Amino acid sequence: MDKASIRVQLFRVEHGEGAEPLEQLLACIQADAIADRVRRCNLVDYRLEDIVAPVGRGTLWELNFVRMRDAHGPGRVSKAKKLAGFNLAENEYFGEDTAVLYDSATRYAVIQYNHWGVRVSGLEQYLSQYRSDVVNIYDFKPKLDLDAERRFKNQKIVRRVEVGIDLTKMQAADLEAGQSLTDMAEIGTKTGADRLYITLTIGSSDRKSKLKNAAKKLLTAVRKNLDDDAILRLSSYGAAEPEQDFEVVDLLEHKLEETEQAPVGTDRRITFTDRVKALKRAKGKWKGVMQD
C-alpha cells in the first residue's frame, strides 16, 4: 500500500472574553444533524463532519472539518488516459478535509495541514460564528519551540519586523488572514511583482520607542495562514525591556511542524482514522512543549 506524507502543526486555542469552552461548543455541534452543521465562511461552505468525543475522563477530541469546494477541482487521469472530470450532481461538491486533535485540558490543537482543505483561519471563523446566540471568539495561535516562543512573547519593545512573501504561491484562501495580507498582495499585483519584502521599522534613537502591537499581529497572521513555501522571510527584532540587548527572532526557523506518514487507500485518500493516528504520533513528540 502506498504512503503519503502529512504535515502536522501545533496551535494553542485562546478563548475570547465571554466565549464558552470550546469542548462545550463541540458537544453542541455534535448534537446537530450533519446538514445543520454547514456554515458559510468567506463565500465557502465548511462543516465539522466527524466528531469523536473523549471517553470517561479523557480530554482529547478527534475532529474532521470539511470544505465544500465548488470551484475548479481535481479530475481523473492515468498514464494512458487524458484528464477527465467527475460527474457530480448539482448539489454535490469536491470535498477537502482537515483532521484536528483538540485537548480540552491543555487547549492545544494538533492540526493536519491541507492547503485545499479548511485552513486555520477557516477553523477560527467556523467555530466562532457557529452559534448566533453566543459571542464566541476562538483564536488559534501557532507554536514555536519553547525558547523562540518565550523570546518572541517577551518582546515588548519591537523595533523592526520583516516579511517576505512569494506572491506566486499565495492562493485566494490565503487572504482570509485579513486586510493586512490582502493589502500586501494587492501591492504586488499592481506592480507586477512576484515577490514582496516589507520591513517595518522605527528609527528613533530612544530605546523605549516601539512599533504598535499591530506589527506583531501581522507576523502572527502571516505564519498562521500562509504555507511555509510562500513565506520567504519572517522575523521580529526587539527586546523585553529597553535596557536589554535587542535580538532577532526568526519565526520561520523555529516554527513547530512534523511530517508523518500515512497509508493511501485505493480511492487515493487517507482515512480519518489514519490521519488521527498520524496526529497522535506528532502530539507525542510535542509533549515537552505543550505547556503554558
- The model's pLDDT over 208-223, given as tens digits with 9 standing for 90+, comes to 999 998 888 888 888 8
Has residue 104 got a pLDDT over 90? yes
Q: What is the pLDDT of residues 5-16, one digit of tens each?
A: 999 999 999 999
Q: Where are the domains of the chain?
A: 3-143+256-286, 146-250
In contact, 3 and 263? CB cutoff 8 Å:
yes
| pTM of the entire predicted model | 0.78
Integer Cα distance of 241 and 255 in angstroms: 24
Predicted confidence (pLDDT) at residue 194 exceeds the cutoff of 90: no
What is the C-alpha end-to-end distance of the chain, expressed in Å? 40
CB 26 within 8 A of CB 16: no
How many helices and strands, by DSSP H and E, does the chain display?
A: 6, 12
Residue 23: which pLDDT band, with cuts at 50, 70 and 90?
Answer: very high
Q: How many CB atoms lie within 10 A of CB 38?
A: 15
Task: State mean pLDDT over 104-124.
Answer: 91
Model confidence at 69: pLDDT above 90: no
Over 70: is that where the pLDDT of 1 sits? no
With residue 166 as reference, give the H or E element that holds it.
strand 157-166
C-alpha torsion sign, points 178, 67, 24, 144? negative
Name the more confident of 107 and 121: 107
How many C-beta atoms surround the C-beta of residue 58 within 10 A?
11
Helix axes 213-225, 120-129, angle to 10 degrees: 110
pLDDT tens across 78-97, in order? 888 888 877 878 887 778 89
- Residue 179 has a pLDDT of 55
**DSSP type of residue 216:** H
3-class DSSP assignment, residue 173: helix
pLDDT tens-digit series, residues 242-281? 889 899 999 887 888 999 999 998 888 899 999 999 999 9
What gap in Å lies between CA 231 and CA 78, rounded to an integer?
33
Closest by CA position to 37, among listed 69, 76, 68, 5: 68
